[in-house]
Amino acid sequence: MKAWLQQHLAALVRAARRLTDSPLSALLSILAIGIAMALPAAGYLCLDNLKALGANSGSAQQMSLFLDADANEKTRADIEKRLEALLPGQWRFISRDAALRQMEANEGMAEIVASLPKNPLPDAFILEPDDADPEHLEALRATLGAWPGVAHVQLDSAWIKRFDAFLRLGRLAAHLLAVIFAAGLIAVTFNTIRLQVLGQAEEIEVARLIGATDAFIRRPFCYLGVLQGALGGLTAALLLLAGTLALAPPVSRLAALYGSAFVLRGPSFLHALALIASGASLGWLGAQLSVRLIRDQ
Amino acid sequence: MIVGSQIYKRYPGGFEALKNVSFEIAGGELALVGGHSGAGKTTLLKLLSAIERPTSGSLVVNGQNLVALRPAALPFLRRNLGLVFQDQKLLFDRSALENVLLPLEIIGLAPREAQRRARAALDKVGLLAREKTNPIALSGGEQQRLAIARAVVNRPTILLADEPTANLDEESARQVLDLFIAFHQVRVTVIIATHAPQGLFPGMAARALTLRHGMLIA
């Protein structure tokens, strides 16, 4: 076990040495991988921010529950009880009188309201469920609509569905971009390792002649792919962080003009770790494909 | 113990490098494989070190029949063989010590023990003072001695050398041959392919295997 660990450690050191032996070429490869990973990652980050922006806007998941015009106090209290059980703290009541006052306050509406023989507005509840998933909201609307005393439940589902469809499309595009750039990353690693294998042909031959197994010969190249990919992932995380830091102040200023406290979110520590791990995995895959050349030599 | 029986080696194109070669070399023996250029000496050494396989016949080295040896078992067989090539096959991107360390890294020896053994091997061939030198800065004789240090650092039971003195001056050649004698004296089987075996080891009982046009004639 100790010998096995020592061999892996030695291979890792050899791989690191190979990277530092040709710093410019290593730097360019790492930068290429970093940019390739940063593009789809930026897409995901953008979508996450848009989702947060949608959730922040408040109206995205707002529903209005209108009571029957002849609903009495008991019906209202009963619905309040049910709402508190179903959506605790996520609703507020607007009485028909308060709604009429709000309507009157709107410009040009006072005369119209004054001409009405009686208040036509029903009592209503405004709901803001935490879960803004369109399917969940649709199901909630159906449930609420079936309650006794409820005349109508209004959900601006078209807007939500459009927004959700946009996010889904964006996510799909980001997935496709990720697959394309992952293939690119594998190709970059494959080529780097292939050149290394060709450059080390003499050493490989000598190692074989003195009893090295294929695993021993391949190991440093695999570690090279992993190191290069991991450093590429780190570069991608740093690029995203730099981009976020540059964009966050103007985005916040723009959001403030629309009365929103939205703050652009950059990659989290977990995002950075995921990028590094993805880079390392893809680098390992590219190296694995490339070191098959050693067997064929 | 090495036993070759009715060995044939035919290359693509039909050229027969070895024809019906049979021999036995006992453990600890010093054997000289002689013959003119193209007689089959290098081919026989390549078969013994499992770099190539016989077309037919059987070749048993250290109890393993090389004809039927699985590719995965090859590295482990070679760890018990010390190979010295005419062109040394040294690595010029690392120091003399690092060249000798390579076989020990391959078997996964602890770094401290590996360093100790590699230095001992360099000391044995008289190159300890030049452990940090790149092999390219060594003379031909020193390079050959370094190649021998690398070949023996794993304490192999068999040492195979292909024309180890071909490109050396008389003094360097003598130093190299003295090393082979030293390993033979500690019961290592030493097999040397050379085009001029006569007088190579004066006063020593060396086994002679003479090849002519791929056939063993003595």
On whether both A151 and A196 belong to a single domain, the answer is: no
Question: From CA B58, how far away is CA B68, in angstroms rounded?
Answer: 9
CB atoms under 10 Å from CB of A294, counted, come to 17
pLDDT digits (tens, 9 = 90+) for A23-51: 998 999 899 999 999 999 999 898 888 87
Which residues on B lie below 8 Å from A10 (Cβ)?
105, 111
Task: Give the number of other CB atoms < 10 A from CB of residue B163.
Answer: 19
Q: What is the CATH number of the domain that holds A80?
A: 3.30.70.3040
Enumerate residues 31 to 50 of chain B having a beta carbon within 8 A of any beta carbon in chain A.
49
pLDDT tens, position by position, B83-111: 998 888 999 989 999 999 999 999 888 88
Domain ranges of chain B: 92-155
Shared domain for A241 and A185, answered yes or no, is yes
Residue A77 and residue A166 share a domain: no
Q: What are the CA-CA distances from residue A108 to residues A92, A105, A112, A113, A211 (Å)?
A: 27, 8, 8, 9, 94
Mutate to test the interface with A, among B76, B92, B107, B160 (most CBs of A within 10 A): B107
Tell me which residue in A202, A205, A211 faces B106 most closely, judged by beta carbons: A211
Q: pLDDT tens across A171-222, in order?
A: 888 889 889 989 988 988 898 888 888 888 888 999 999 999 998 999 999 9
Domain shared by A282 and A174, yes or no? yes
| Domain identity same for A188 and A275 | yes
Smallest Cβ–Cβ distance between B102 and the set A205, A210, A213 belongs to: A210
Q: How far is CA A38 from the centre of its chain?
A: 13
Last-in-domain residue among A155, A178, A196? A155
Q: Are B137 and A31 contacting, i.e. CB atoms less than 8 angstroms apart?
A: no
For every residue of A78-135, DSSP letters joined together read: HHHHHHHHHSTTSEEEE-HHHHHHHHHHSTTTHHHHHH-SS--PPPEEEE--S---HH
Mutation pick from B46, B78, B90, B106 vs chain A, by most beta carbons of A within 10 Å, is: B106
**What amino acid is encoded at A28 in this protein?**
L
Shared-domain flag, residues A109 and A241 = no
Scan residues 187-226 of A and list those with Cβ closer than 8 Å to B.
Answer: 202-203, 205-213, 216
Q: How many CA atoms lie within 13 A of A93 on its CB side?
A: 14
Q: What are phi and psi of B97, to 5 degrees?
A: -60, -45
The C-alpha of B203 sits at a distance from chain A's nearest C-alpha, in angstroms, of 32
A133 and A203 assigned to the same domain: no
Same domain, A287 and A260: yes
What pLDDT does A58 receive?
52
Between the alpha carbon of residue A11 and those of residues A191, A218, A224, A289, B131, the distances in Å are: 20, 9, 9, 18, 22
- Shared domain check, A289 and A205: yes
**In whole angstroms, what is the distance from residue A238 CA to residue A230 CA?**
12
pLDDT at A297 over 60: no
Which stretch of DSSP H or E encloses residue A249? helix A214-257
Torsion of CA B145, B149, B152, B154, to 10 degrees: -160
Residues A175 and A42 occupy one common structural domain: yes
Give the best-scoring range by mean pLDDT among A39-43, A257-261, B130-134.
B130-134
A281 and A200 belong to one structural domain: yes
- ipTM comes to 0.86
Cβ contact A206–B89 (<8 Å): yes
What DSSP assignment string belongs to A199-239? Answer: HTHHHHHHHHHTT--HHHHHHHHHHHHHHHHHHHHHHHHHH
Range of the domain at A271: 2-56+162-296
Query: In the listed set A99, A127, A155, which residue is the last one of a domain according to the structure?
Result: A155
Query: pLDDT at position A272, please?
Result: 95
Q: Which residues contact A54 (CB under 8 A, 6 or more apart)?
A: A60, A132, A163, A167
* d(CA A216, nearest CA chain B) in Å: 7
List, as ranges, residues 142-181 from B with C-beta within 8 Å of A.
150-151, 154
Host H or E run for residue A65: strand A63-67
Nearest CA in chain A to B94: A203
| Domain endpoint, select from A106, A127, A155 | A155
> Cβ–Cβ contacts within 10 Å for residue B63, how many?
7
A100 shares its domain with A52 = no
Number of domains in chain A: 2
Residue A132 has pLDDT above 80, yes or no: no
